[in-house]
Amino acid sequence: MSTAGEVPAFFKSMGSDSPARPRQKFCGMFCPVEGSSDSKTLDFDALSMCRGKSDGGSGCEAPPPPSQRQVAQQAWMIDYTVCSDRLLIKGGKIVNDDQSFCADIYMEDGVIKQIGENLIVPGGVKTIDAHGRMLMPGGIDVHTRFQMPDRGMTSADDFYQGTKAALAGGTTMIIDHVVPEPGVSLISAFEQWREWADSKSCCDYSLHVDITEWHRGIQEEMEALVKDHGVNSFLVYLAYKDIFQLTDAQVYEVFSVIRDLGAIAQVHAENGDIVAEEQRRILEQGITGPEGHVLSRPEEVEAEAVNRSVTVANQTNCPLYVTKVMSKSAADVIAQARKKGTVVYGEPITASLGTDGSHYWSKNWAKAAAYVTSPPLSPDPTTPDYLNSLLSCGDLQVTGSAHCPFNTAQRAVGKDDFSLIPEGVNGTEERMSIIWDKCVVTGKMDENQFVAVTSTNAAKIYNLYPRKGRIAVGSDADLVLWDPDFTKIISAKSHNSTVEYNIFEGTEVRGGPLVVISQGKIVLEEGNLHTTEGSGRYVARKPFPDYVYKRIKARSRLAELRGVPRGLYDGPVCEVSVTPKTMTPASSAKTSPAKQPNQPVRNLHQSGFSLSGAQVDDNIPRRNTQRIVAPPGGRANITSLG
Amino acid sequence: MAERRGNWDMAEDDLPVYLARPGTADQVPRQKYGGLFCNVEGAFESKTIDFDALSVGQRGSRTPRTAKRETGQEARSSASDSKNSPCVESPAANRREGKDSPQVEIRTGGGKEVLQNLGDEKSDRLLIKGGRIVNDDQSFHADIYLEDGVIKQIGDNLIVPGGVKTIEANGKMVIPGGIDIHTHFQMPYRGTTTVDDFAQGSKAALAGGTTMIVDHVIPEPGSSLMEAYDQWRQWADEKACCDYSLHVDITHWNDSIKQEVDNLIKEKGVNSFQVYMAYKDYYQMSNSELYEIFTFLAERGGIVQVHAENGEIIAEEQARMLQMGITGPEGHVLSRPEELEAEAVFRAITIASQTNCPLYVTRVMSKSAADIISQARKRGNVVFGEPITASLGTDGTHYWSKNWAKAASFVTSPPLSPDPTTPDYLNTLLSSGDLSVTGSAHCTFSVSQKAIGKDDFTQIPEGVNGVEERMTLIWDKAVTTGKMDENMFVAVTSTNAAKILNLYPRKGRIAVGSDADLVIWDTDSLRTITAKTHNSVAEYNVFEGMELRGAPLVVICQGKIVLEDGNMHVTSGVGRFIPCAPYPDYAYKRVKARKQLAVLRAVPRGMYDGPVSEFSMSRGGTPSASARTSPTKQPVRNLHQSGFSLAGNPALCGPPTPDDIPIRPAGRRIVVPPGGRSNITSLS
């Protein structure tokens, strides 16, 4: 490490300069996890095609994780006698994103009814004594992909298993992604996901919808989803060439539509064209293992796509949300764009905050493949620390998990070609603890900021606030009693996911939930989960969230563009040949749903706001916020031309 | 320097950047001559608008005036073929209005007072005495002796043949002649041609102290690069008054183009190719095509130039502007905000970095694009930025001029930034070395040609003047203000360009054996730029009214004096084509070193023998479905195809196996895990 210290940064090779940070305390770094398959049966039936739903049963009723509690058992005074939807929590320290204070909480029917001292509550109510521990709003995992179909397979955790894992980690709401196959209607895909989730989910959930192709019908469906189905966020892909990827012009149109609908534009930011070229090149070189995945998707390609989507969002005055911020350079692009005033949010995920991409070079194929996700984990081992810092200072705002694990047999589809490995890592269960351990324990952020990045900001962006993301009278009774002294070692042996590998295997984390209350019911106590399949409700979200759209609306109003009034040009005009240079500036208009050809009414949402300072408002009596750009020399007509 | 332009409202400077409007924060005195939005007085006096020239397909006879000049020059060049006698034109007689006489005299003849205009046989021998030679690395006093168009001797007390013509430089600076690395002379555009042909354009170049130009060959999409190249060669050979070279623009991409590019590099002396990221459905390349072109040129030793703007978004924005009823030239800049330029620069740099290809960004017009380039250079990318005369000298507030013709004359792509602090910023980056070279992108159209787009700004032909003003403008903006010294001035106007094009040290340096392209520079000259006196045919000059310090006093091109006392002695057709060799050291030394490091290795693993899930290939099966049309697809592993990446790519030195590298070499890191190998077979 010392000898090569002067080598320029771009020659640095992976892993060798990783700080002496104990990442893996449990078993060797490259060993398979001992015992991780003990309680799991590889269900070969589940691996065959067209059997999306029946594989939940085999591993789901795993015994509660043994010996999770490392700390001394606290005194609990829980009265089990009365009906369970009335609950009093005494002596807790309520932590919201803005302040912490000590108060009791009384909840009934899944809603917080009273907060304060000496509450007057009905007799015989179940009471939890918090002993001064922190009580925070339940986490919101903004990015999950439970039960996601991929080429006939389904991701290993279905909505039951996934939400159970979420609750075990202190997350009481998840927002899943609906991924319609290109050619499939958004609405029918949405309804399919609703059906899956309603029947299995153990906690409240909501849904993002991914835009995987673009035509006029999609625009109408988006409108219907926003107005009738409570969806206010859509994801577009800049990667997955020839499958999901949209062109820049299409992205521009999608963003324009999203802005008009008052929704949030999410983007999977990687340059799919370059990735496709690189994949081909890497395969040609005979690199077929998981290391090819990260070699073909260097972080520059991620940063480039983030930069491009920020540009398009600025042009369309559309709020942007970058999913899966995996690298320093992508995070930097977001931070810079925010400094320039762009309305953009960045979502690092558990994996990028907790581990790095050096594992792609693991000799153990199955382990290396378990880390495959897109954008990939950065091989730079300083990345997690950097992202945690940006999360703490507010340059990144929300955290998801992008939980989409596949088991080893499913990953092995790509055993001879890394580009076929199904993508996704685990993280929904570990998310809160990892962030607490990496950020709060290290002093990067305080408990209030912790609540903000795990719950409140997500609720604000997706217009769930203050129903979710805050402990206040009238909010949903989704609470977590947090134990900062709790320690545990993450392992595939004890986690709630069904996969054999946990990418955080052996990481020791401090901080964890002692009690989790979802919908006013205790779902986790003393390490025991009491989840009910199908109890999760769909939470509809309204468009135009204030947190995002207040600024967008203000800019739209400012963004009126006017032409310069001039005399008619009456000089000579050169003739031109028939082949014009730029024939039709918008030749994509044929297929473009965002074009409204006959738009007699000026759409105020269609904004010409631009950051480059190019607005004109002349010929108008000067108002407060307007500048006059009429030239001092007065008008000059072109007729003065010689 | 404190003069403020007009009475702009300065009251709201504290508004955030994104709310700033053009022209409101101006602090640069730009126009001392005439009102900002006034017509140029006298600009049309010596120019006739010729309606014949406006019709289609009559490139040969444009304006009576031009035609006259062409025939005159042809006659002259035929005369010069036999007699080798340059003719005299003095269009610049009134250039120094307001000054009584040139402040530095030029004495000729070693006591014999040989008049250079007589054109005797000795005229290609020239002695410059008492000058201060300024190269990009140092300045020193020495005499220079030129013969046969080449510098033969440099030093004191030179022994030269008798009767040689002598220029007494009186301590003035002698600098290498400028190289304008970006011109579009005689460019066809929808049946018309830019008004400055190679004769007029190169004459303007010489008048400004530029002794070599590099023009862009623009083949129509679908046509052959080679034919277009030959066509340009023919035009330039007939008319150019100074040495020239050519870039070739790649306007479409397929296997035959690839072959032609290969031939151009190997046989035709072209080493730089431009690709377009703008002009959707016309010139624009997709990201995949860019990747392939970059890869190909990196193998062949070429320089990739990019016109960096996001054409897709521009097309959308143009449609939106027109829909809103904005049809004037202000729509041009509104539909091409500088962010789109910066975005494309960023993307081009990413692709160049992936393909380990040197990148050259033409026409850096905005602060944000320049910032991206300087950041990339800090990260180690091999990227060069070319601001142009217009972006260094003026800004985009003129697009809002009430005078349509004036506003239209500023139309170029990427547009001039409406932010009036842009020129100053770009000059600073040029001085610090973050931007490397300067061109002019000289591509002038007459008002009537610009009027093609009078009802639709997207139809306005794009291009501004600048070849004549380039050197003076940079001197005034950067050297007189103390941003750069005279050596840096030489570097950005000449030497760096010569290095990038692999012409160094033949061009771009005053050294024995170099071409005798010299400029004696007058640092005190003060002149006002105006369309009345400039050498271009265009009616408007985008720098109209600017008072600039510094100008060439004597220009020597190919060993002959072409400018003295404000008189031009140019000969059409004497310009030679200068072939550029591939693999310029200036760009490729680093690229080659990185290639050697960039070998990727796979991780040796045991075979996976566990269960494999069934799956359908219904989607996601072919990650590189574009491979069908890709000409760069190679079955053989190509060692030049590098996977070098600046992102800390971990596989630069893949895990060395213990047997082939027994001792850990310095600079290499071992990434074999401490736990040793473990086979997948241990999976239960």
Is B192 in contact with A615 (Cβ distance < 8 A)?
Answer: no
Q: For residue A408, list chain B residues with Cβ-Cβ distance below 8 A.
A: 610-611, 683
Residue B256's pLDDT band (cuts 50, 70, 90):
very high
CA A131 – CA B70 distance, rounded (Å): 97
Q: For residue B22, list chain A residues with Cβ-Cβ distance below 8 A.
A: 613-616, 629
CA A404 – CA B407 distance, rounded (Å): 55
Nearest-by-CA chain B residue for A584:
B315
What pLDDT, on the 0 to 100 scale, is given for residue B557? 94
ipTM of the complex: 0.74
CA B184 – CA B90 distance, rounded (Å): 25
Task: Tell me phi and psi for residue A114, to 5 degrees.
Answer: -140, 145
pTM over the 0.90 mark: no
Q: Give the mean pLDDT of chain B.
A: 79
Q: For residue A253, list chain B residues with Cβ-Cβ distance below 8 A.
A: 316
Residue B565's pLDDT band (cuts 50, 70, 90):
confident
What pLDDT, on the 0 to 100 scale, is given for residue B110? 44
Is A575 in contact with B54 (Cβ distance < 8 A)?
Answer: yes
For the stretch A368-403, pLDDT in tens is 999 999 999 999 999 999 999 999 999 999 999 999
Q: Nearest CA of chain A to the CA of B631: how many Å?
A: 12
Return the amino acid letter for B174: V
Task: Tell me phi and psi for residue A108, to 5 degrees.
Answer: -150, 140
Q: Nearest CA of chain A to the CA of B339: how many Å?
A: 6
What pLDDT, on the 0 to 100 scale, is given for residue A46? 43
CA distances from B72 to B9, B77, B240, B480 (A): 52, 9, 14, 39
What pLDDT, on the 0 to 100 scale, is given for residue B625? 37
CA A613 – CA A610 distance, rounded (Å): 6
What pLDDT, on the 0 to 100 scale, is given for residue A36? 53
CB atoms within 10 A of CB A68: 15
Q: Nearest CA of chain B to the CA of A552: how many Å?
A: 13
Residue B40's pLDDT band (cuts 50, 70, 90):
low
CA distances from A442 to A98, A351, A392, A436, B269 (A): 20, 18, 11, 9, 61
Return the amino acid letter for B343: E
Q: Is B669 on the interface with A (CB under 8 A)?
A: yes
What pLDDT, on the 0 to 100 scale, is given for residue A7? 44
Is B655 in contact with A361 (Cβ distance < 8 A)?
Answer: yes
- Which of A295-304, B47-56, B419-428 bottoms out in mean pLDDT, i.e. has the lowest? B47-56
Per-residue pLDDT, averaged over B20-24, amounts to 43
Smallest Cβ distance to A274: which of B313, B351, B643? B351
Question: Residue B193 above 60 pLDDT?
Answer: yes
Residue A573's pLDDT band (cuts 50, 70, 90):
confident
What pLDDT, on the 0 to 100 scale, is given for residue A571? 82
| The most confident of A120-124, A356-360, A607-611, B66-70, by mean pLDDT | A356-360
Per-residue pLDDT, averaged over B12-30, amounts to 44
Count the helix, strand and coil residues of chain A and give each as a percent rounded to the nearest 5: 30, 20, 50
Per-residue pLDDT, averaged over A247-261, amounts to 95
- Chain B, window 566-625: residues with a beta carbon less than 8 angstroms from a chain A beta carbon: 597, 600-606, 608, 610-625
Per-residue pLDDT, averaged over B522-529, amounts to 92
CA A114 – CA A54 distance, rounded (Å): 42
For the stretch A69-109, pLDDT in tens is 333 333 344 444 444 578 999 999 999 999 999 999 999 99
More confident residue, B435 or A593: B435
Residue A578's pLDDT band (cuts 50, 70, 90):
low
Q: Nearest CA of chain A to the CA of B669: how many Å?
A: 6
Q: Nearest CA of chain A to the CA of B427: how many Å?
A: 20
Q: Which of B5, B18, B668 to mutate to test the interface with A (most CBs of A within 10 A)?
A: B18
Q: Which of A615, A592, A17, A461 is nearest to B324 (CA)?
A: A615
- Residue whose structure tokens are 């006659």: B75
CA B471 – CA B551 distance, rounded (Å): 8
CA triple B518-B521-B526, angle to 5 deg = 145
Question: Residue B253 above 50 pLDDT?
Answer: yes
For the stretch B526-561, pLDDT in tens is 999 999 999 999 999 999 999 999 999 999 999 999
Per-residue pLDDT, averaged over B589-616, amounts to 84
- Counted across chains A and B, CB pairs separated by less than 8 A come out at 494
Question: Residue B26 above 60 pLDDT?
Answer: no
For the stretch B85-131, pLDDT in tens is 344 444 443 443 434 444 445 555 444 444 444 444 445 789 999 99
CA A357 – CA B518 distance, rounded (Å): 56
What pLDDT, on the 0 to 100 scale, is given for residue B42? 53
| The most confident of A602-606, A618-622, B211-215, by mean pLDDT | B211-215
CA trace torsion A340, A345, A349, A352 (10° rounding): -10
Nearest-by-CA chain A residue for B349:
A304
CA A101 – CA A119 distance, rounded (Å): 16
Residue B70's pLDDT band (cuts 50, 70, 90):
very low
Q: Give the mean pLDDT of chain A.
A: 81
B303-307: strand order across its sheet: B178-183, B210-217, B243-250, B272-276, B303-307, B359-364, B383-387
Question: Residue A40 above 60 pLDDT?
Answer: no
Q: Is B4 on the interface with A (CB under 8 A)?
A: no
Q: Is B439 on the interface with A (CB under 8 A)?
A: no
Nearest-by-CA chain B residue for A639:
B403
Question: Residue B647 above 60 pLDDT?
Answer: no
Residues, chain A: 642
Q: Is B341 on the interface with A (CB under 8 A)?
A: no
Question: Residue B56 above 70 pLDDT?
Answer: no
What pLDDT, on the 0 to 100 scale, is given for residue A563? 80
Task: State CA B649 to chain mean position distance.
Answer: 33
Residue B184 CB-half CA count within 13 A:
24
What pLDDT, on the 0 to 100 scale, is given for residue A84? 54
